[in-house]
Structure 1
Amino acid sequence: MTYFTCFFLDNEKDIIVSIYKDLGDLYYVLSTPNYSTGNLIRNLSATCNLPLSQDENGMLIIKGQVPCYVNAANEEVYIFRLGDIEVADIYPDGRVSVKALIPAIAKTLMSQTKNYQLDLSKTIFKSYVPRNLKFRGDLHTHMNGNLKADVMIALGIYHQIRYPLYYVKKLGLELTPSQWDKVNAQRKKVERQFITSPLQGKYLDRKINDNTFINFADLILNNLDNAEMNIVKIRGSLAVIKDGQAVFTNLEKVYLYRYVFAKGRESEDKIRIDSVGQIPDADVRNALVQMLRDGENPDYKNNTIFQDKLLWIARGYKAQGVDYAEISDTTLVKKYESIEMLRQVHEIMPKIYQETGVMIRFLAAIRRIPLTIVKDAITPSDYLEQNLEVLKATALDPYVAGCDFVGEEINDIITLKPAFKEIVKIASKDESFVIRVHAGENDSQKDNIAHSIACVKDSLAPGQKMPRMRLGHGLYTYSPKSNKGREVLKQLKDNDIVLEFQLTSNVRLNNLNSLKNHPLKEYLKQGIRCVQGTDGAALYGTTSLDEELSLKTLLDLSDDEVKLMKDAESQIIEESRKAYSDKKAAFNELLKGRDMEEVLLEKMKTVKLKKRMPRSKELLDTNKELKDMINEITWDRFPIVLLGGSFNSENRSTRVTNEGQRQLDELLDYLSPDEVCFVIGHKLSGYEKYLLEHNSKGFRIYAVVPALMGKKEIERFKKLGIEIRVSTEAQGMGIYKSFNYEIFERRPSMVVAFDGNSAAANLIQEAKNGKGKSAIFVWSHSKTLQNKAKSLHGYVYSFDEDNKLTGQLKSLQDKLLISGR
């Protein structure tokens, strides 16, 4: 058999169908090389009722023959099916017409469980929708999450960006001997600049490697023997993890990989861009060929990386049938960067619109909490005031549709109420100004939808009407049958709040583990306007069409319900286009021929927010206050993470049951303090408190605590005298990230989870994803955590009165490398 062609069953090129020819017959080999557990292909074979086999490298594959048919035009066509679904037509000349795809949601759910539950009809989707129901907007997305990885790679080659040595090593990229010689010589020069640095060991190595670069065009074009595998590895780094659900930490890391391209700086050591035709990946190659053509186009030849990014975002939207998008970007609240961004937008967007017909506008994004993933970044204490000062000016620009509160939802939005007062003042002068809040994305802050509305309503001046307001995600609030839930529905409807839904990102970021109770249908039934977004489609391997198909198919939406969403979207787009025209005229009148920078700087007025926190609730630096109690988690004992008190939403406490106490007593009795230690959270409540009060055998106990805590909390820890680890996160709901860094990524461990909300579910997912391997036990009476456990079937053990924790431990003792008494 000889190789004939190949195609992919998903947007991320993870499910590959390779076609081989033998005389007049075609045969296929389906493989999933980017997935190490084998779950994806096992579940796919079971769903499609197809046998598995292995290739010469021991990799699981599905193989078979593609039957040939003759159509009405007397043409031969080979039809590739999975189950009873026609997936692709393959023609003798090598053309492939793909008619159905596996959406990112199904791919994620298949990859992280050993017992996939969805049937074939909800696993493989026909890739079309009725024209009158097709969504034409992307009203919830983020600047650096839109571009497909292949386009970003092509941009990196075209603009010859600097690619850090750190990522070359992190991804295991292959360089030629001469490339290694050159980059290592540069590294020696960089190393000399850090001779007085206080950094040591891996931290110093990281800093040096971050500042040592190779020309990305050189890396690919002068290294064609390794280009195929290098592109696969780089592509994988530009999307969230493959083998299962991710958490917010993973998303932040992906953004760092993407920033290398999206915010790239051009290399000083340029090369000739040739050998383009030899790039092995067709999509990268075709995009780069078009970029070279654009370089000869007077409209685009002087484009910056940012302008090319906008051009290719618009082209991507055009290909998806989307003609209006609003993109969140934090650049628009940074003083000088915002002005430079808008200058480039005004220069390029008319040309982009002329080519594509796609209108792109922006929401100025304000972080609800400071970013912690960038270790050297220092966020000033008055960052909100600085953001609002800039927003007062950038909000005047016609390309700025409004603002957005972004970031992981681990704090109550009510703490930012003073900022809303300033934003509502902006909206009072511009009735088209959109106030968008990321709220209800996870279940840790069920008041956030109601509190977001209250923050705006309570900030209105006398007689001021409610501004245009949208809530991103809107998954979690109180039950609509409860008094609180009914009041939320009333506030949403009375104030004409729009809810935005992004199903794929909810699943891939571990915020949605069951589709059964999704609230969208109820909101539509109540007459609340709902629309779709992608949340940065390329991050999650989706598209606007995939999102629509997923919403309709997985949530069983009727055509009438989809029509309600389509009508809401159309109304918003019409209003937004008019707003752009009106603001453009007003902005031109404001400038009156003056330079944009001069005018906008004049409009940036100092903002002073009223500090709401009384002295009694001021937060202290935990590292400073508890410095004598900070100790590294010992390496001579096996760590057991106990969840049951610290990882609930703020207004919910864990109820300790008699049976739960018995299970924990038996565990403490069975284990040896010489063999294991316990790690708990910061609240010292629930089962964690019970552990502290019943530690008669003297187990070493560590508490992971946030970087900022109140005085009473500090004093409580001082009295207990237990050892602590201080998280980089200031918010209690974010400390799950430190468990990952301290334990799951570094060493074997065990998790015993009695109770918790989204933070606990994130910790469990981190334990499953971690390199150190963790045995995870979940209390079967915890409804929330059981949803998480079911999504990780085969990786989580449930325990209760019938399946004792200690009984399961004894049977797994050798596997866990711990011993009892």
Structure 2
Amino acid sequence: MTFFTCFFLDAEKDIIVSLYKDLDKMYYILSTPNHHTGNLIRNLSALCKLPLTQNENDMLEIRGEVPCFVDANNVESYVFSIGDVEIASIFQDGTVDVKATIPAIAKTLMSQTKDYQLDISKTLFKTYVRKELKFRADLHTHMNGNLPGDVLIALGIYHQIRYPLYYVKKLDLKLTDAQWDKLNAQREKVARQFVTSGLQGKYLDRRINDNTFINFADLILNNLDNAEMNIVKIRGSLAVIKDGQAVFTNLEKVYLYRYVFCKAKESEDKIVYSNMDQIPDKDVRDVLKQMQKDKENPDYSKNTVFQDKLLWIARNYKRQGVCYAEISDTTLVKKYESVEMLKQVHEVMPKIYQETGVMIRFLAAMRRIPLTIVKDAVTPSDYLEQNLEVLRATFLDPYVAGCDFVGEEINDIITLKPVFKELVKFAAIDPSFVIRVHAGENDSLKDNISHSIQCVKDCLLPGQSMPRMRLGHGLYTYSPRSNKGKEVIEQLKENNIVLEFQLTSNVRLNNLNSLKEHPLKYYLKQGIRCVQGTDGAALYGTSSIDEQLSLKKMLELSDEDLKLMKDAEAQIIEEGQTAYSDKKAAFIALLKNRDMEEVLLEKMKTVRISKSSSKKYKRLDANKELKEQISEITWDRFPIVLLGGSFNTEKRATRITPDGQKELDELMDFLNPEEVCFVIGHKLSGYEKYLIDNNKKNFRIYAVVPTLITKQERDKLIEAGVYIRVSPEAEGMGIYKSFNYEIFERRPSMVIAFDGNSSAANLIQEAKNGKGKSAIFIWSHSQTLKQKAKSLHGYVNIFDTENPIVKRIVELQTELSRKS
């Protein structure tokens, strides 16, 4: 057999169909090389009733023949089908017409479990929608999550960007001996600059490797023998994890990999190349060729990396049939960077619009909590005031549609009410100004939708009408049958709030484990305006049309439902286009032929927002207050993470039951304090408190606490006498990340979960994803966590009085012993 061609069943190129010919016969091999658990291909095989085989590398594959058909014009084509679904037509000249694909949601759910439950109609989608129902906007997306990895890779080659040695090593990229020699020589020079830095060990290595660079074009084009595998690895680093759901920590890490391209600096050590035709990946090759053609176009010949990024975002949107987008970007609240960004936007966007017909505008994004993933970054305490100072100027620009609160939803938006007081002033000046809040993304803060609306309403100036307001995600609030739930519906309708839905990111980021209770259809029935976004499509392997197909198929939306969403979107597009025209005229009048930078910097005036002096909100530095109890988690004991108190919403306490007490008692009797230790959260409530109060065998107990704690929390932790680990996260609902850093990524462990909301589900997902392997046990009476357990079938053990925890542990030990 000779290789003929290949194509992919998904946008991320994870499900590969390789085609081979033997005379007039065609055969296929379906493989999933980027998915290492085997769940994806096993579930696909079971769903489609196709036999599995193993190749010479012990990787699972699906093999078969592709039948040949002759049409009425005597034209031959091969038709590849799975089940009863026709996937692609393959022609003699090597072209492939793909008619159905597997969306990112289905791929994620198949990767996550050993028992995939969706049927084939929700797994393989025909890739078209009715023209009159096709969505034409992306109203919820993020600047650095927009472009597919292939475009970013081509961008890196074209602009010959600096690529850090740290990522070369992290991704285990293969370089030539000459490239390694050059890099190591450069690293020695860089290392001399850190002799007096005070850094040691891995921290010193990381800083040196972060500042040692290879020209990315050199890495790919002067290393063609390794280019195919290197491109696969780099592409994989630019999207969230493959084998199942991710959590917000994973998303933050992906952004760091993307920043290398999206916030790129060009290499000083340029190369001359003419061999781009030899790049093994066709999509990267085609994009790079177009970039070379753009160099001859006076409209784009002097484009910066950022301007080329905008150009390719618009081209991607045009290809998807999208004509209007509002993109969140934190650059617009940074003093000098925002001015430089807007100057570049004004230079290139009219030309981009002329080519593509796509209007791109921006939402100035402010972080609801400081970013902690960048270890050396120090966020000033007045960062929101600094953001508002810049926004006082940038909101006047016609390309700025409004503002956005971004970041993981682990704090009550009501704490940012003083910021809303300033934002409504901008809306008073510019009635088109959009205030968008990420709210209702997870189930821990069910007040956030209501509180977001209330923050705006309470801050309105006398006689001011409600500004244009949108809520991103809107998944979770109170039950519509409850009084609070009914009040929320009335608030949404009364204030004409728009809800934005991003189904794929909700699933891939572990915020949605069951599609059955999704509220979109209910909201539409209540007359609430709802639209679709992608949340940064490339991060999640989706696109505008894939999102619409997923909404329709997965949530079983009718054409009438889609029409309601289309109408809401059309109104926003029209409003946005009108706002741009009106603001453009006003902006030209404001400038009066002066330099844009000069005018915008003049408009940036210091903003002071009120700080709550209430003792309720006064928090203390845990590192100082608990320094006597801080201790590393011992390495001579096996860590058992106990969930049952610290991982709920602030307003819901864990209720201890007699059955639960019995399980915990028997567990403590069974375990040896010389061999295991317990790790809990910071609240010392529920089952955590029971563990402490009944610790007769003197188990070591560690509490992971946020950086900032209340006086009451401090006093409880001191009184309990537990060992302390201080998380970099300031909010209690973010400390699940520290369990991952300190335990799941480093060592074997066990998780015993009695209760919890989204942060508990995130911790469980981190335990499943971690390198250290964790045995996970979930109490059957926790309805929220049982839903999570269902999505992790084969990786989670359920326990209760009929299946006691000790019995389950012994069974697992026996099974592991037998396998070893």
Alignment TM-score, normalising by the size of structure 1: 0.99
1:699 aligned partner: 699
Question: In structure 2, what is the equivalent of residue 390 of structure 1?
Answer: 390
Residues 329-368 of structure 1 aligned to structure 2 (within 5 Å)? 329-368=329-368
Cα separation, 2, equivalents of 1:46 and 1:554? 20
Identify the residue that residue 573 of structure 1 maps to in structure 2: 573
Partner of 2:5 in structure 1?
Answer: 5
The one-letter code of the counterpart of 2:353 is: Y
Matched residue, 1:64: 64
Which residue pairs with 2:774 in the alignment? 774
Contact 1:18/1:29 (<8 A) preserved = yes
- Alignment partner, residue 560 of structure 1: 560
Percent identical pairs in the alignment equals 77
Which residue in the other structure is 1:686 paired with? 686
Letter in 2 for 1:635: W
Secondary structure of 1:738 counterpart: helix
Corresponding position of 1:233: 233
Does structure 2 conserve the Cα–Cα contact (< 8 Å) formed by 1:140 and 1:532?
A: yes
Shift of 1:814: 5.2
Of 802-811 and 15-24, deviating more is: 802-811
Aligned to 1:499: 499
What's 1:243 paired with? 243
Which residue in 2 is equivalent to 1:433?
433
Q: Is the 8 A contact 1:775 1:816 kept in 2?
A: no
2:437/2:472 contact within 8 Å kept? yes
Shift in Å, 1:77: 1.1
Look up the match of 2:42. 42
Match of 1:51 in 2: 51
Distance of 1:367 and 1:280 partners within structure 2: 40
Matched, 1:32 2:35: no
2: distance between equivalents of 1:24 and 1:438? 56
The question of whether the paired residues in 2 share the 8 Å contact of 1:6 and 1:18 is answered with yes
* SS of match in other structure, 1:691: helix
Match of 1:478 in 2: 478
Q: Distance in 2 between matches of 1:528 and 1:342?
A: 34
* d(CA) in 2 for partners of 1:153, 1:608: 43
User: Aligned partners of 1:634, 1:816: CA distance in 2, in Å?
Assistant: 24
Report the counterpart of residue 320 of structure 1 in structure 2.
320
Instruction: Check the 8 A contact 2:684/2:716 in 1, yes or no.
Output: no
SS at match of 1:628: helix
Distance 1:356 1:84 in 2: 37
Contact 2:684 / 2:717 at 8 angstroms: preserved in 1?
no
Matched, 1:378 2:381: no
* 1:294 partnered with 2:311: no
Mapped to 1, the partners of 2:546 and 2:582 lie a distance apart of: 34
The DSSP-based 3-state class of the residue aligned with 1:458 is helix
Please say if 1:78 is aligned against 2:58: no
SS at match of 1:506: helix
Find the residue that maps to 2:459 and give its secondary structure: coil
Deviations 1:212-268 (A, max 9, x none): 000000000000000000000000000000000000000000000000000010000
SS of residue paired to 1:631: coil
Report the Cα distance in structure 1 between the residues aligned to 2:378 and 2:609, rounded to whole angstroms.
20
Q: Which residue identity does 1:323 align to in structure 2? A: C
Q: Which residue of 2 aligns with 1:731?
A: 731
CA shift at 1:715, angstroms? 2.0
TM-score computed with the length of structure 2 as normaliser: 0.99
C-alpha separation between the residues in 2 aligned to 1:686 and 1:543? 43
Residue 712 of structure 1 and its aligned partner are, at CA, apart by 2.0
Separation in 2, partners of 1:606, 1:273:
49
Residue in structure 2 matched with residue 192 of structure 1 by the alignment: 192
What displacement does 1:816 show? 6.9
Contact 1:673 1:699 in 2 (8 A): yes
Whole-Å Cα distance in 1 between the matches of residues 598 and 614 of structure 2?
39
**What is the rounded CA distance, in whole Å, between the counterparts of 1:815 and 1:396 in structure 2?**
65
Q: Return the offset for 1:485.
A: 0.2
In structure 1, distance between residues paired with 2:644 and 2:613: 28
Aligned partner letter, 1:35: H
Question: Residues 691-734 of structure 1: CA distance to partner in whole angstroms, max 9, x if unpaired?
Answer: 00000000000000000111221122222221010000000000
Shift of 1:615: 4.0
SS of match in other structure, 2:561: helix
Q: Does residue 142 in structure 1 map to residue 142 in structure 2? A: yes
Distance in 2 (alpha carbons) for counterparts of 1:426 and 1:783? 44
* Displacement of 1:112: 1.0
What pairs up with 1:406-555 in 2 under 5 angstroms? 406-555=406-555
Q: Secondary structure at the match of 1:206?
A: helix
| Structure 2 CA distance for aligned equivalents of residues 92 and 808 of structure 1 | 57
Q: What letter is aligned with 1:215? A: N
Separation in structure 1 between the aligned mates of residue 687 and residue 558 of structure 2, nearest angstrom = 45
Deviates more, 1:607-616 or 1:420-429: 607-616
Q: Deviations over 1:382-405 (max 9, x none)?
A: 001000011111000000000000
C-alpha contact 1:641 1:750 (8 A) present in aligned 2: yes
Q: How is 1:70-149 mapped onto 2 (pairs within 5 angstroms)?
A: 70-149=70-149
Question: Partner of 1:641: helix, strand, or coil?
Answer: strand
Deviation, structure 1 residue 616: 5.5
Q: Please say if residues 706 and 727 of structure 1, whose CA atoms lie closer than 8 Å, have aligned partners that are also in contact.
A: yes
Deviation at 1:813?
2.5
Which deviates more from structure 2 when the two are superposed, residues 237-246 or residues 188-197? Answer: 188-197
- The aligned amino acid for 1:514 is S
What is the letter of the counterpart of residue 455 of structure 2? C
* Structure 1 portions without partners, runs of 5+: none
Say which SS state the counterpart of residue 310 (structure 1) adopts: helix
Cα deviation digits, residues 469-514 of structure 1 (max 9, x gap): 0000000000000000000000000100000000000000000000
Give the letter aligned to residue 79 of structure 1. V
Is 1:714 equivalent to 2:714 in the alignment? yes
- Say how many residue pairs are matched: 818
Letter in 2 for 1:434: V
1:244-283 to structure 2, matched below 5 A, reads 244-283=244-283
Query: Does the 8 A contact of 2:28 with 2:66 survive in 1?
Result: yes
- Distance in 2 between residues matched to 1:715 and 1:530, nearest whole Å: 46
SS, match of residue 30 in structure 1: strand
Write the distance in 1 (CA, Å) between the matches of 2:434 and 2:659: 51
Q: Please state how far the C-alpha of 1:461 moved relative to its aligned partner.
A: 1.1
Q: How far apart, CA to CA, are the structure 2 residues paired with 1:325 and 1:466?
A: 23
Q: Take 1:285 and 1:531, find their aligned partners in 2: how far apart are those partners?
A: 35
Contact 2:507 2:513 in 1 (8 A): yes
**What residue in structure 1 maps to residue 309 of structure 2?**
309
What amino acid does structure 1 have at the position aligned with 2:219? L
Cα deviation code 1:790-817 (max 9, x no counterpart): 0000000000111111001112235679
- Conservation of the 8 A alpha-carbon contact between 1:470 and 1:499: yes
SS in 2 for 1:293: helix
CA distance in 1, matches of 2:11, 2:650: 38
Query: Is the contact made by 2:780 and 2:786 (CA closer than 8 Å) also made in structure 1?
Result: yes
CA-based RMSD of the aligned residues comes to 0.9
Cα 1:491–1:616 change in 2 (3 A) is closer
Q: How far apart, in 1, do the equivalents of 2:177 and 2:709 lie?
A: 52
Name the aligned partner's letter for residue 743 of structure 2: I
Helix, strand or coil at the partner of 2:803: coil
Distance 2:816 2:398 in 1: 60
Could you tell me which amino acid in structure 2 is paired with residue 64 of structure 1?
A: G
- In structure 2, list runs of 5 or more residues that go unmatched: none
Match of 2:676 in 1: 676
Task: Report if the CA contact (8 A) 1:498-1:531 is conserved.
Answer: yes
Q: Matched residues in 2 for 1:493 and 1:816: separation?
A: 55
Distance 2:745 2:20 in 1: 41
Task: Give the match's secondary structure for 1:140.
Answer: strand
Distance in 2 of aligned mates of 1:30 and 1:466: 54
Separation in structure 1 between the aligned mates of residue 613 and residue 307 of structure 2, nearest angstrom? 42
